């Protein structure tokens, strides 16, 4: 039997993938480690799917009581508008038989498998379903089997199982990543001297499922009794492996914190910032704080079923009072003195909690005699380095992989270049040395963990043709004591598209600024300053300049760096003293051990600031190839006098008036001042026009002489207004006191000047585009425009509004004549249109009765035949038709409407005519008459006979008026008409 403890550990995997998918997953995680969890303020919006997932959780998550214990229950995040999900039980049954057959060959594995499933039933995580309940509900069945992973046998519930191309994961929303980031939890874990760590026992299994989701998570099991029918089991809690389980479980944990506002800020902060899914890592300043927080967390989360286990601490006294089942296995070994160097797995890193250091452990290597791209990627992807402490070492392998990829080798190609294989074997041989690479867990010693310390974070950036990256260090100073600690690093191989070194240096400057932004958000330490270091003078010059001067690639990155950091905090460091130089070129583990400036920062950071590098006095010139092309554009300003007013710049007279006001009184003139002294501005405008249009006449009048006989104004007897210096019309109305000066002596205007055209446009708009005489009359009350009527007509002819209202409408072209109107060689009434009219009152004895008229019109000769109907039923109409045929001959075709175009709303006539149609058709078919109906709601198709009916009605009204006459008189009148 395998030795395992179901009470202290429980790990159920619920996903399975082929080798290729597993490899791609490892590769994806490898490259994601190089990506900072940097969130731009412009990109903090959630996707529509994430928003929908949060809405579902907020609306449907609830607390329920099961066996006297309160649990959170969350819905699975189902996508909308998908068909029902049903998996055939027979297909899953076949997989169960295969699993049982494999287990039957190994009794030890079979017993372990059976015990694992039994634990799920005992814990209440799954439940057997009665057959009657199964018959009334459809569900989805999940196959399961055993895998051997990391030296342990585990049960896998394959939630990726698909049937007809559909699987459970296709129906689930993944949901957003809730809670703290992995990097953030690790950064805060290293802040203070005392730490605690724990796991939530079976976190997913502590969240219940809603009843409607349970049938879709079923599986088959019969305790290895291969001849018995299987039991149908159903999950009651969130299983591992469903797409939405991580989001749902984390939401339930955060919901628990939000619902208990009395818990306090410390507990709330601990859950929100120090939990990564089910792992809790937290650092504190004192052992008492750590012990108190641990006890508070245990009791607080246990209220809703989240039980914290696997407790460990770098101070054993913090967890010594806990029962043994609550402590981690390594802690128990240390308490029992079975080990002197206990270690814990902490989010992928090894934590030696007694010495309080972090280390790395590489996985067991597969011996490949002939390495392939697939094998190389697999080994590289397993080197897990979330903090970037061994980036100089892994960068060598990444550069090697890029070179192999550039040579376009296939995944399983064994014919790799010999020189690259030698580099790869050399790198792989160094992997066992990773066990000696350690990192102090805490940034500083206990003496420097105080709020009074002066802290600064230093970001070093560097780039080469092969790779670029940045590394961050924390410098702590207190009373002359200085300590420098490694925080985090990130690197990337240089892109395949060749970039210049200055561009790469600028790109890594942006990476460094983003790294600092992440540290500002994640660290809770009081950091006074952030300082950035680069060995590129070109980058320093760029960051001190305006981004708009440069091309797009450089300009956008300069703008982003300037937004994230202060340009004054960027400093110069020589390449030899720049620790980021190690990660750009790659180092062996032996070289890293010899050069401590990578692990502990450059030597000058351990010294006072006066010993730090200074910027060289001789600055590097800017890179001219990155500057935007500049074109000189010169402009000469000329002070325009009043006589140089450019009227063509203005589209309305009001705009011209405002511009003149600005010239005369300054641009700050308020709108209230525009109307206060309009007369002065108007006089100035007209003076400008007259000076330009009639310079000779103006000179003669100013000299008190009459105008020349050749002047255009000579017939107006012009006079000069001494007050305004304007030319006005003379005349004999000087003694009429009742008239204004503008009416007595209008101002003379030149019709060709633009000011005159603006005046005409103003009057035209104010009067709403009347005729030319009206506009002329209104203008004449103040102005005398030479050839005014002609100029107004010319303006109105070009005015769009006037042309729209006075334009002659286009008469549409008439359609072609119908064929029935062109058959002149046919006899009369060959094509006949019919319609009824009425009702008409007649007198029969002492009573009144109704009669209707029917019109037959030849559509070719326009001949008319009128008959009288005693009723509008089928018989009466057919009798009239027989009379018509007997007198005028049988028509070839008859046209009429469908009764929907009758005027006057005679409902009775419409209904009767519609009832007439079936019988009429049958009769006409026997007589070989083509009976056609006009389209509905189209009276113009019968316009010919409709106009005749109007004439008949007019004649009847003229002859009979309102009289009620006998039927014989009515027939006579119809014949006469």
pLDDT at 579 over 90: yes
590 alpha-carbon distance from chain centroid = 50
Lowest pLDDT segment from 128-142, 550-564, 650-664, 897-911: 897-911
The pLDDT, as a whole number, for residue 275 is 92
pLDDT in tens, 954-975: 998 888 888 888 989 888 988 8
pLDDT at 302 over 80: yes
pLDDT in tens, 707-754: 888 888 888 888 888 788 888 888 888 778 777 777 888 888 888 888
The pLDDT, as a whole number, for residue 603 is 93
Mean pLDDT of 560-575: 92
What backbone phi and psi angles, to 5 degrees, belong to 939? -65, -20
HEC secondary structure over 19-57: HHHHHHHHHHHHHHHCCCCCCCHHHCCCCHHHHHHHHHH
CA atoms within 13 A on the CB side of 301: 28
From residue 745, give the alpha-carbon distance in Å to each of 777, 821, 916.
Answer: 15, 70, 82
Instruction: Confirm if 402 and 354 have CB atoms less than 8 A apart.
Output: no
Lowest pLDDT segment from 41-50, 351-360, 438-447: 41-50
pLDDT at 477 over 90: yes
Residues in CB range of 326: below 8 A, 6 or more apart: 298, 308, 309, 310, 311
Reduced to 3 states (helix: H, G, I; strand: E, B; else coil), residue 613 is coil
pLDDT at 903 over 50: no
pLDDT in tens, 448-473: 877 788 999 999 999 998 999 999 99
The pLDDT, as a whole number, for residue 138 is 80
The pLDDT, as a whole number, for residue 208 is 93
Tokens of 230: 């299987």
Mean pLDDT of 933-957: 85
| 391 — pLDDT class (breaks 50, 70, 90) | very high
pLDDT in tens, 395-449: 999 998 888 888 888 878 888 888 888 888 899 888 888 888 889 999 998 888 7
| 195 — pLDDT class (breaks 50, 70, 90) | very high
The pLDDT, as a whole number, for residue 612 is 93
Bigger pLDDT: 810 vs 525:
525
pLDDT at 580 over 50: yes
Distance CA 139, CA 235 (A): 12
Mean pLDDT of 808-817: 79
Neighbouring CB atoms inside 10 A of 797's CB total: 11
The pLDDT mean for the chain works out to 83
The pLDDT, as a whole number, for residue 527 is 94
pLDDT at 27 over 60: no
From residue 855, give the alpha-carbon distance in Å to each of 533, 824, 832, 914.
Answer: 104, 21, 10, 17
Distance CA 658, CA 758 (A): 14
The pLDDT, as a whole number, for residue 960 is 87
CA atoms within 13 A on the CB side of 5: 6
Closest by CA to 822, choosing from 856, 860, 858, is: 860
The pLDDT, as a whole number, for residue 260 is 85
The pLDDT, as a whole number, for residue 126 is 94
Distance CA 220, CA 234 (A): 9
pLDDT in tens, 232-284: 999 999 998 888 999 999 999 999 988 887 778 888 889 999 999 889 999 99
DSSP label at residue 724: T
pLDDT at 18 over 50: no
What backbone phi and psi angles, to 5 degrees, belong to 263? -65, -30
Tokens of 507: 């790109």
DSSP label at residue 10: -
Distance CA 347, CA 345 (A): 6
The pLDDT, as a whole number, for residue 585 is 87
Instruction: Confirm if 372 and 413 have CB atoms less than 8 A apart.
Output: yes
Instruction: Confirm if 472 and 36 have CB atoms less than 8 A apart.
Output: no
For domain 819-976, the question of CATH label 3.30.420.10 is answered with yes
Tokens of 857: 């019109």
pLDDT at 332 over 60: yes
Bigger pLDDT: 480 vs 605:
605
Pairing state of beta strands 454-463 and 529-534?
Answer: parallel
Distance CA 733, CA 729 (A): 11
Say how many residues make up the chain. 977
| 678 — pLDDT class (breaks 50, 70, 90) | low
HEC secondary structure over 468-495: EEEEEEEEEEECCEEEEEEEEEEEEECC
The pLDDT, as a whole number, for residue 831 is 92
Mean pLDDT of 148-175: 83
What backbone phi and psi angles, to 5 degrees, belong to 806? -105, 0
Bigger pLDDT: 749 vs 487:
487
Is the C-alpha dihedral spanning 561, 562, 564, 568 positive or negative? positive
CA atoms within 13 A on the CB side of 207: 28
DSSP label at residue 649: G
HEC secondary structure over 171-206: HECCCCCCCCCHHHHHHHHCCCCEEEEEEECCHHHH
Q: Which CATH superfamily is domain 19-34+48-357 in?
A: HIV Type 1 Reverse Transcriptase, subunit A, domain 1 (3.10.10.10)
Distance CA 477, CA 454 (A): 5
For domain 442-621, the question of CATH label 1.10.10 is answered with no
In the block, which residue shows the tokens 């009289």? 963
Mean pLDDT of 781-797: 88
DSSP label at residue 13: B
Distance CA 934, CA 917 (A): 13
Instruction: Confirm if 914 and 902 have CB atoms less than 8 A apart.
Output: no
pLDDT at 10 over 50: no
| 900 — pLDDT class (breaks 50, 70, 90) | very low
Distance CA 598, CA 393 (A): 11
pLDDT in tens, 501-551: 888 999 999 999 999 999 999 999 999 999 999 999 989 988 888 877 777
Instruction: Confirm if 154 and 13 have CB atoms less than 8 A apart.
Output: yes
Most confident of 296-300, 334-338, 780-784: 296-300
Closest by CA to 143, choosing from 93, 215, 103, 76, is: 93
Bigger pLDDT: 16 vs 581:
581
From residue 649, give the alpha-carbon distance in Å to each of 2, 645, 656, 662, 752.
Answer: 95, 9, 8, 14, 16
Closest by CA to 113, choosing from 262, 256, 219, 241, is: 219
The pLDDT, as a whole number, for residue 62 is 92
pLDDT in tens, 60-69: 999 888 877 8
pLDDT in tens, 359-374: 887 766 665 567 888 8
In the block, which residue shows the tokens 């005046």? 759
């Amino acid at each position: 039997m395998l030795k395992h403890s179901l009470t202290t550990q429980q790990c159920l995997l619920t996903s399975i993938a082929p080798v290729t998918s597993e490899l791609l997953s490892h590769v994806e995680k490898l490259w994601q480690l190089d990506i900072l969890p940097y969130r731009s303020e412009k990109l903090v919006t959630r996707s529509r799917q994430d928003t929908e997932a949060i809405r579902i959780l907020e609306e449907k998550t609830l607390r329920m009581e099961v066996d006297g214990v309160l649990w959170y229950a969350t819905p699975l995040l189902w996508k909308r508008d998908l068909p029902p999900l049903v998996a055939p039980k027979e297909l899953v049954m076949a997989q169960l038989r295969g699993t049982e057959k494999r287990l039957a060959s190994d009794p030890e594995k079979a017993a372990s498998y059976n015990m694992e499933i039994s634990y799920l039933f005992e814990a209440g995580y799954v439940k057997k379903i009665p057959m009657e309940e199964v018959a009334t509900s459809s569900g989805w069945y999940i196959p399961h089997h055993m895998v051997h992973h990391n030296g342990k046998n585990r049960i896998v519930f394959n939630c990726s199982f698909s049937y007809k191309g559909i699987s459970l994961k296709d129906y689930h929303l993944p949901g957003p990543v809730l809670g703290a980031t992995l990097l953030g939890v690790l950064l805060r874990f290293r802040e203070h001297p005392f730490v605690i760590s724990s796991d939530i026992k079976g976190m997913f299994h502590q969240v219940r499922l809603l009843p409607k989701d349970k049938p879709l998570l079923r599986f088959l099991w019969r305790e290895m009794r291969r001849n018995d029918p299987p039991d149908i089991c159903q999950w009651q809690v969130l299983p591992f492996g469903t797409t939405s389980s991580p989001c749902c479980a984390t939401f339930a944990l955060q919901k628990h914190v939000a619902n208990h506002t009395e818990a306090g800020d410390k507990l709330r902060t601990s859950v929100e910032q120090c939990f990564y899914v089910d792992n809790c890592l937290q650092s504190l300043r004192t052992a008492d704080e750590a012990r108190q927080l641990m006890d508070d967390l245990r009791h607080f989360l246990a209220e809703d079923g989240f039980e914290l286990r696997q407790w460990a601490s770098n101070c054993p006294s913090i967890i010594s009072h806990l029962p043994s089942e609550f402590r981690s296995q390594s802690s128990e070994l240390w308490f029992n003195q079975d080990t002197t160097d206990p270690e814990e797995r902490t989010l992928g890193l090894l934590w030696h909690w007694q010495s309080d250091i972090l280390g790395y452990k590489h996985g067991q290597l597969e011996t490949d005699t002939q390495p392939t791209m697939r094998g190389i990627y697999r080994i590289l992807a397993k080197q897990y380095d979330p903090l970037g402490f061994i980036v100089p070492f892994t960068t060598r392998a990444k550069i090697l992989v890029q070179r192999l990829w550039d040579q376009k080798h296939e995944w399983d190609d064994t014919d790799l270049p010999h020189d690259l294989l030698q580099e790869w074997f050399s790198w792989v041989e160094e992997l066992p040395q990773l066990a000696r690479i350690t990192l102090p867990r805490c940034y500083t010693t206990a003496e420097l963990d105080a709020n009074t310390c002066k802290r600064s974070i230093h970001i070093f950036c560097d780039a080469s043709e092969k790779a670029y990256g940045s590394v961050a260090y924390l410098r702590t100073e207190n009373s002359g004591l200085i300590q420098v600690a490694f925080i985090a690093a990130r690197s990337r191989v240089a892109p395949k598209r060749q970039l210049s070194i200055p561009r790469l240096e600028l790109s890594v400057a942006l990476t460094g600024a983003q790294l600092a932004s992440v540290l500002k958000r994640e660290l809770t330490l009081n950091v006074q300053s952030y300082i950035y270091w680069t060995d590129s003078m070109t980058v320093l010059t760029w960051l001190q300049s305006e981004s708009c001067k440069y091309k797009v690639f450089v300009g956008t990155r300069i703008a982003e760096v300037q937004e994230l950091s202060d340009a004054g905090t960027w400093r110069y460091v020589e390449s030899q003293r720049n620790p980021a130089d190690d990660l750009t070129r790659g180092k062996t583990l032996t070289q890293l051990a010899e050069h401590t400036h990578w692990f502990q920062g450059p030597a000058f950071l351990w010294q006072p600031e006066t010993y730090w590098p200074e910027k060289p006095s001789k600055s590097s010139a800017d890179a001219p190839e990155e500057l935007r092309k500049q074109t000189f554009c010169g402009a000469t300003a000329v002070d325009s006098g009043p006589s140089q007013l450019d009227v063509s710049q203005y589209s309305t007279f009001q705009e011209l008036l405002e511009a003149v006001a600005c010239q005369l009184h300054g641009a700050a003139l308020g709108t209230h001042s525009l109307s206060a002294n309009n007369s002065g501005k108007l006089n100035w405008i007209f003076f400008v026009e007259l000076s330009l249009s009639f310079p000779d006449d103006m000179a003669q009048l100013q000299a008190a002489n009459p105008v020349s006989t050749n002047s255009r104004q000579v017939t107006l007897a012009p006079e000069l207004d001494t007050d305004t210096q304007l030319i006005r019309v003379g005349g004999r109305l000087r003694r009429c006191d009742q008239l204004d000066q503008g009416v007595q002596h209008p101002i003379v205007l030149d019709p060709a000047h633009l000011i005159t055209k603006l005046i005409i446009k103003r009057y035209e708009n104010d009067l709403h585009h009347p005729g030319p005489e009206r506009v002329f009359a209104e203008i004449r009350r103040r102005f005398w425009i030479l050839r005014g009527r002609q100029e107004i007509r010319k303006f109105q002819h070009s005015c769009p509004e006037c042309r729209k209202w006075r334009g002659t409408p286009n008469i549409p072209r008439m359609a072609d004549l119908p064929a029935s109107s062109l058959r002149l060689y046919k006899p009369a009434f060959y094509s006949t249109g019919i319609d009824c009219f009425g009702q008409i009152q007649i007198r029969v004895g002492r009573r009144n009765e109704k009669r209707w008229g029917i019109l037959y019109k030849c559509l070719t000769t326009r001949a008319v035949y009128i008959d009288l109907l005693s009723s509008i039923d089928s018989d009466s109409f057919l009798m009239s038709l027989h009379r018509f045929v007997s007198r005028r001959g049988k028509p070839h075709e008859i046209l009429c409407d469908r009764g929907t175009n009758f005027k006057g709303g005679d409902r009775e006539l419409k209904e009767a005519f519609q009832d007439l149609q079936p019988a009429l058709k049958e009769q006409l078919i026997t007589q070989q008459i083509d009976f056609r109906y006009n389209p509905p709601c189209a009276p113009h198709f019968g316009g010919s006979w409709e106009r005749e009916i109007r004439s008949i009605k007019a004649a009847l009204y003229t002859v009979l008026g309102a009289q009620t006459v006998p039927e014989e008189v009515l027939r006579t009148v119809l014949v006469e008409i």
